[in-house]
A and B are shown apart, each in its own frame.
Chain A
Amino acid sequence: MNFKHKYFFLFPGLFVLIGILIFPIIFVVRLSLSGWNSYNPGLDYIGLENYIRLFTDDPRFWESFFRLSFLSVTTVILQYVIGFALAHMVWKDIKFKRFFRVLFLVPMMTTPVIMTVIWRTFFHESLGPVNDLLSVFGVAPKWLTDPVIAKFTVIIVEVWQWTPFMFLLLLAGLLSLPKEPFLAAAIDGASPVRKFIYVTFPLMAPISIGAIIIRLIEASKIMDTVYVLTSGGPGTSTETSSFYIFIKGLREFQMGYAASMSFTYLIIMIISLTIIAKVLTKVLLKE
């Protein structure tokens, strides 16, 4: 196919791509090589100084990164397990199926920031209803101020907020499965549990991988929940990468340094997600 004006017709798409994807990345790279901060705003050139600082002199970034890995992997695993269980439940013919299908989607329809404010009220140590109930048993966990428990509070809120998304993807997957293998499996002597292990789960593997990757990407950007719920606290115990970059960039206005962190973070995410996708494909699809 040889068509004179093809570049003319390619241009609008290319223009958008350059505008929203390529230019920002190039600009971030350039920014990361500058010392732009609130005293000295401007694109000067300081070489790799920011990167040297990041790799040799900033344990807080790496701590926040490993914390982020822990949080996102844990939440996604929980979301997957719970989402699969719920989807499997309403996939079968049960009573009020339609009602449950809508009910399970409600958290996704709410605004995360507002819901997190409500959760914060829930988990308030002295005024929240959760501790009010738990006081019957004589315990009052410090949901938001204990460095360890606060992490789990973040996990609870994230799981609540985003399990419906997983549920939706997995239910769509289940509904698109062919019926015949299930007939065959029943006749071949597979009990319901074995049918799940040997038929449902393997058939769901491709869609599971997709859902998990999508959620991992989303979960690794976790920001609003942390911001509203704990503001990274107590101390830095719930601080994640994006939140730390936000503090450095938009609170302390070290734009150059924040840009170098963003770019490093982007590279790490691309590499690790590629590896994760490969591993998941290998394990789940046995390919």
Chain B
Amino acid sequence: MDLVANNLSYKPDDQYHLNEVSFNFREGNLYTILGRTLSGKTTLLKTIAGLLTPDSGEIEFDGKNFLKIPVWERNVAMVYQQFINYPHLNVFENIAFPLKQRKIDKSIIKEKVMDALKSVGLLGYENRKIQELSGGQQQRVSLARSLVKNAKILLLDEPLVNLDYKLREQLREEFKNLFSKGLADETILIYSTTDPRETMELNGEVIVLDEGKVLQVGPAKEIFENPNSLKVAEISNDPPMNIIEAKISDNQIRFEGVDVEAPQHLSKLTEDGLKIGLRSSDIELSENGHEFEVELAEISGSETLLHLKRGNTKIIVSIEEVLNFKIHDKVKINFKIDRAYAFHADGKLASSPFGDLNG
């Protein structure tokens, strides 16, 4: 049973929330919608759920016009970024809610709810009030509520974004396990996130969304290796990919007085306005490298992010250890230039270290 959308558009004000979005989701697969905030992810999920009606376009599920079916008959489940539960019900009743909406035997409800509680690790909490739970536990309850009804379409709208770092890591791990073993084959799982790392870990089919438009569709690995444009490269990397305006001539990449020997996949690009893209992790500190000035050094977890500057060129370098730098310190860096991307002036990918796109 496929979920197919054609040219979905939604424009409630002067901006597109969805702009001609089309997709073809097949059952048994995981789809990740990657985009920055306000890119239309939530709008898209709400449209699929039926909470929003698009201005134009169609959605078909199992060959039926989905837009004509009211929300409560669509058999979808949704987990929101805010932990939405029923404040007047306890944990058990919350999870049993979707089942009670159908005429299901009480003992079966109990069994299913207990199963769901077990799979999200909340056994023993069934009589607690929702308000007595922590944020992470509340989100687990709403996840359990969405799992218990065995919906054909499961929508997860940035489910981890409002959790603290530790919980996020932990739940993300649990999600991965749950998705890989627990879900029935006929479920379509749609997961939206702003976090490229989450996207890579979930390793599903990725839809990159920006300003309501689909920029690229493909497996996570492909999006990561071959982003088809500057925008996608920025969205699919955190910190965003470094973009350096450079010129290639005589087999040398030149910018701000730096000369780097061009790798083979870049050497033939001699056009004007070329932009070189390099991930922050593909730059390293090196004694005999090029000198840059430190603008800002931030330590996040076990890595250090260095914001560097040389002339008008600003780059970010991430280093896998905790280092202390002062502002205006001079550091020497080396580029792993064979991992560099090149983009045309209009933002399209010109060349990637992982081979040509048209190949």
User: Is B72 within 8 A of A181, CB to CB?
Assistant: no
Chain B residues with CB under 8 Å of chain A are: 49-51, 70-73, 75-78, 80, 82, 84-89, 97-98, 100-102, 142, 145, 149
A180 with B88, Cβ < 8 A, contacts A189-B101, A190-B101 known: no
A82 is an interface residue with CB less than 8 A from chain B: no
User: Is B49 within 8 A of A180, CB to CB?
Assistant: no
User: Is B78 within 8 A of A187, CB to CB?
Assistant: yes
Residues of B within 8 A of A202 (CB): 88-89
CA distance A127 to B50 in the complex (A): 57
User: Is B101 within 8 A of A180, CB to CB?
Assistant: no
A184 is an interface residue with CB less than 8 A from chain B: yes
Chain A residues with CB under 8 Å of chain B are: 178, 180-181, 183-191, 194-195, 198-199, 202-203, 205
**Interface of chain B, main secondary structure:** loop
> Distance in Å from the Cβ of A206 to the closest Cβ of chain B?
9
Residues of A within 8 A of B77 (CB): 187-188
> Distance in Å from the Cβ of A132 to the closest Cβ of chain B?
47
User: Is B87 within 8 A of A178, CB to CB?
Assistant: yes
> Distance in Å from the Cβ of A81 to the closest Cβ of chain B?
21
Residues of B within 8 A of A194 (CB): 72, 101
Residues of A within 8 A of B88 (CB): 202-203, 205
User: Is B84 within 8 A of A183, CB to CB?
Assistant: yes
21 contacts between A and B (CB under 8 A): A181-B84, A183-B51, A183-B80, A183-B84, A184-B78, A184-B80, A184-B85, A184-B145, A186-B50, A186-B51, A186-B71, A187-B49, A187-B72, A187-B76, A188-B98, A189-B98, A190-B97, A190-B101, A191-B72, A194-B101, A195-B72
Q: Which chain B residue lies CB-closest to A179?
A: B84
> Distance in Å from the Cβ of A283 to the closest Cβ of chain B?
14
Beyond A181-B86, A203-B87, list 4 extra A-B contacts (CB 8 Å). A188-B72, A188-B77, A189-B102, A191-B101
| One of A178, A189, A203 near B72 (C-beta < 8 A) | A189
| One of B49, B86, B149 near A199 (C-beta < 8 A) | B86
> Distance in Å from the Cβ of A210 to the closest Cβ of chain B?
16
> Distance in Å from the Cβ of B146 to the closest Cβ of chain A?
8
User: Is A180 within 8 A of B82, CB to CB?
Assistant: yes
Residues of B within 8 A of A199 (CB): 86
A188 with B145, Cβ < 8 A, contacts A180-B80, A180-B82 known: yes
User: Is A189 within 8 A of B73, CB to CB?
Assistant: yes
Residues of A within 8 A of B72 (CB): 186-191, 194-195
> Distance in Å from the Cβ of B144 to the closest Cβ of chain A?
12
> Distance in Å from the Cβ of B71 to the closest Cβ of chain A?
4
User: Is B97 within 8 A of A188, CB to CB?
Assistant: yes
User: Is B97 within 8 A of A185, CB to CB?
Assistant: yes
CA distance A285 to B145 in the complex (A): 23
A198 with B76, Cβ < 8 A, contacts A186-B51, A203-B88 known: no
Residues of B within 8 A of A191 (CB): 70, 72, 101
Residues of A within 8 A of B80 (CB): 180, 183-184
- 5 smallest beta-carbon distances between A and B, as pairs: A188-B98, A189-B101, A180-B84, A186-B71, A202-B88
CA distance A187 to B98 in the complex (A): 8
> Distance in Å from the Cβ of A218 to the closest Cβ of chain B?
28
A188 with B101, Cβ < 8 A, contacts A203-B87, A203-B88, A205-B88 known: yes
> Distance in Å from the Cβ of A101 to the closest Cβ of chain B?
25
CA distance A202 to B130 in the complex (A): 15
> Distance in Å from the Cβ of B70 to the closest Cβ of chain A?
8
CA distance A195 to B97 in the complex (A): 11
Residues of A within 8 A of B100 (CB): 198
| One of B84, B87, B89, B149 near A189 (C-beta < 8 A) | B149
User: Is A189 within 8 A of B75, CB to CB?
Assistant: yes
Q: Which chain B residue lies CB-closest to A202?
A: B88
Name, among A181, A186, A187, the residue most crowded by chain B CB atoms within 10 Å (CB to CB). Answer: A187
CA distance A188 to B154 in the complex (A): 11
Q: Which chain A residue lies CB-closest to B46?
A: A183
Q: Which chain A residue lies CB-closest to B78?
A: A187
Residues of B within 8 A of A205 (CB): 88
CA distance A61 to B241 in the complex (A): 87
CA distance A178 to B49 in the complex (A): 20
> Distance in Å from the Cβ of B233 to the closest Cβ of chain A?
35
Residues of B within 8 A of A181 (CB): 84-87
Q: Which chain A residue lies CB-closest to B84?
A: A180
Residues of A within 8 A of B78 (CB): 184, 187
Q: Which chain B residue lies CB-closest to A181?
A: B86
Residues of B within 8 A of A195 (CB): 72
> Distance in Å from the Cβ of A189 to the closest Cβ of chain B?
4
CA distance A202 to B72 in the complex (A): 20
Name, among A185, A188, A198, A199, the residue most crowded by chain B CB atoms within 10 Å (CB to CB). Answer: A188
A198 with B84, Cβ < 8 A, contacts A183-B51, A187-B49, A187-B71 known: no
CA distance A205 to B102 in the complex (A): 24
CA distance A178 to B87 in the complex (A): 9
Q: Which chain B residue lies CB-closest to A203?
A: B88
> Distance in Å from the Cβ of B328 to the closest Cβ of chain A?
49
Q: Which chain A residue lies CB-closest to B97?
A: A188
CA distance A194 to B70 in the complex (A): 14
> Distance in Å from the Cβ of B12 to the closest Cβ of chain A?
14
> Distance in Å from the Cβ of A199 to the closest Cβ of chain B?
7
> Distance in Å from the Cβ of B45 to the closest Cβ of chain A?
10
> Distance in Å from the Cβ of A115 to the closest Cβ of chain B?
38
